[in-house]
Amino acid sequence: MIRGGISVPPVHRFNDQERQGCGPMIPPLSESPRPLRQQIFERVRAAGQMPRVQVARELAVSPATVTTLTSELIELGLLEEVSTASEGARGRPAVSLGVRAQAHYVAGIKLWDRGLLAVVMDFAGKPLGGESIPRDPGTVEPAELIRLVDEILARVCAAIGLVRAELSAVGLGLPGFVDTNSGIVHWCPVLSERHVPVASMAAEALGLPVHIDNDANLVTLAELWFGAGRRLSDFAVVTIEHGVGMGFVLNHRIYRGAQGLGTELGHTKVQLDGALCRCGQRGCLEAYVADYALAREATTALNWPTRELQSMTVLLESLYDHAKAGNAAARSIFHRAGRYLALGLANVVNLFDPELIILSGERMRYDYLYAKETLAEIQALALNTGRPAPRIEIHAWGDLLWGHGAAALALSEVTESLLGASRDMAA
């Protein structure tokens, strides 16, 4: 962690059995102006179980109001009463509220350069099962993408004995420039076309509501709903895999920008007329830090002409092994990437002042990217205010992290459609 000093961040590994409840844990008396019924439901879901009197206290409303609104939520089948009596206790058992888990089911699907994965969750946010399928690297036609989504959804539903029609929504994450509001993917490195209406195409094929988002936002949603960000009002997640992504939480809500395309850290410019990025522009941070950037440097600096015959994973593992063995050229490649990463993270600190920056993704296993020198450079490039620097943590969740975030997106959308302000206005 960094808090005033420099040290290598610990690696946090998420254990799904550790948590109770899901969703942001918003402090009492700080709720945004959402319908009170929705606030009650989300507060109970975040806690896992909560007595009515505590709900009333945290939202600063009368117990009678809470009783009335929770009765409506129970009648709708969204909440249920849960006995919290301990074994051997005397007297009337205490009763808390909990989410009726079987009220709705959602699926979360993530597409990346080498495959797809999917998870299914119940309405309380408990994972019921997950599946993954590999695919050959490279771009796919939009129709092929929809076919793959249909295939993995069928697999995961069959694995847990769930009929697809029992799902209330699907969350789908892709890398690139994704407009969540319109459901259009303007550019994706694994799609052969631009400006593709992926959400509507998938919804038509699956017969279900489909909500899409950038994959870095999914990691951020996973941290906000299930991980270290549940109690934080402002934090950033930076992912380093085939590309560099970022998600940002502002006041307990994910920030997407006016057109849903904000916080594209990987495509901020760090060098005018610099290295070519896969987005087609030059000088992007991603073009110096992502796996294809490391591979490009390796084939040149280490005279590896057979890159096309090796998988990206094999090439990068070989580069890392050379660096660990003391190869100066290999170490300089990671050192250079680390310096550019430090520049990007310092800009995040200067722009957003987050309480926590989480570094995630497959490439974070390369400790050179968060070595002491890299962390020291972040502090040197960030504004010197005399106050503690943001914490920096490395989180290694594994592949299902992305699916958890996609499912959280679907859960959020289902909740909003059932209890949100737009529904109240329509009523």
Task: Identify the H or E element spanning 345.
Answer: helix 328-352
Domain end position, chosen among 102, 137, 161: 102
| Residues constituting the chain | 427
Q: Are residues 249 and 387 in the same domain?
A: yes
- Check whether residue 276 and residue 358 sit in a common domain: yes
Same domain for 124 and 242, yes or no, is no
Of 46, 73, 102, the position where a domain reaches its end is 102
Q: Do residues 20 and 125 lie in contact, with contact meaning Cβ atoms separated by under 8 Å? A: no
Closest by Cα among 227, 229, 272, 220 to 247? 220
**pLDDT over 60 (residue 1):** no
Can you give the CATH number for the domain in which 63 is found? Answer: 1.10.10.10
| Residue 6 domain-assigned (yes or no) | no
| pLDDT at site 194 | 95
Q: Are residues 115 and 97 located together in one domain of the fold?
A: no
147: CB partners within 8 A, 6+ apart: none
Residues 387 and 256 in one domain: yes
Phi, psi of 236 (to 5 degrees): -120, 145
Residues 406, 330: one domain? Answer: no
Query: pLDDT tier at 297 (50, 70, 90 boundaries)?
Result: confident
Asked if 70 contacts 97 with a C-beta cutoff of 8 angstroms, the reply is yes
Is 368 among the domain residues?
yes
303/169 same-domain check: no
In-domain check, residue 35: yes
Q: What band does 291 get if pLDDT is binned at 50, 70 and 90?
A: confident
Domain assignment of residue 72, yes or no: yes
Q: Which helix (H) or strand (E) holds 250?
A: strand 244-250
Per-residue pLDDT of 216-255, as tens digits, reads 999 999 999 998 899 999 999 998 888 899 999 998 999 9
The pLDDT value given to residue 420? 84
In angstroms, rounded to a whole number, what is the distance separating the alpha carbons of residues 194 and 178? Answer: 11
Pair (377, 409) in one structural domain: no
Contacts of 397 (CB under 8 A, 6+ apart): 13, 14, 222, 227, 360, 404
Q: What is the pLDDT of residue 310?
A: 58
Q: Identify the CATH number of the domain in which residue 168 sits.
A: 3.30.420.40
Same domain, 383 and 237: yes
Structure tokens at 188: 């994706």
What pLDDT score does 93 carry?
62
Instruction: Tell me how far apart the alpha carbons of residues 247 and 254 are, in angstroms, rounded to a whole number.
Output: 7
Domain holding 379, by residue range, is: 231-397
Q: 342 with 324, same domain?
A: yes
Cβ atoms of 168 and 105 closer than 8 Å: yes
Does 200 fall in a domain?
A: yes
User: How far apart (Å, rounded) are the C-alpha atoms in residues 260 and 16?
Assistant: 30
**Shared-domain flag, residues 155 and 236:** no
What's residue 213's pLDDT? 95
Residue 124 scores a pLDDT above 60: yes
pLDDT tens figures, 354-406: 999 999 877 777 777 777 888 888 888 988 888 888 899 888 666 677 899 99
- The whole-number pLDDT of residue 421 equals 63
Whole-structure pTM value: 0.86
Instruction: Indicate whether 8 belongs to any domain.
Output: no
Residues 6+ apart with CB under 8 A from 253: 24, 32
**Percent of the chain at pLDDT above 90?**
55
- Residue 89 pLDDT > 80: no
Domain count, the chain: 3
**1 belongs to a structural domain:** no
Span of 177-186, 206-215, 310-319 with lowest mean pLDDT: 310-319
**Inside any domain, residue 123:** yes
Top-confidence residue, 21 or 126: 126
Mean pLDDT along residues 60-76: 95
382 and 412 housed in the same domain: no
Could you give the CA distance from residue 24 to residue 34 in angstroms, rounded to a whole number? 14
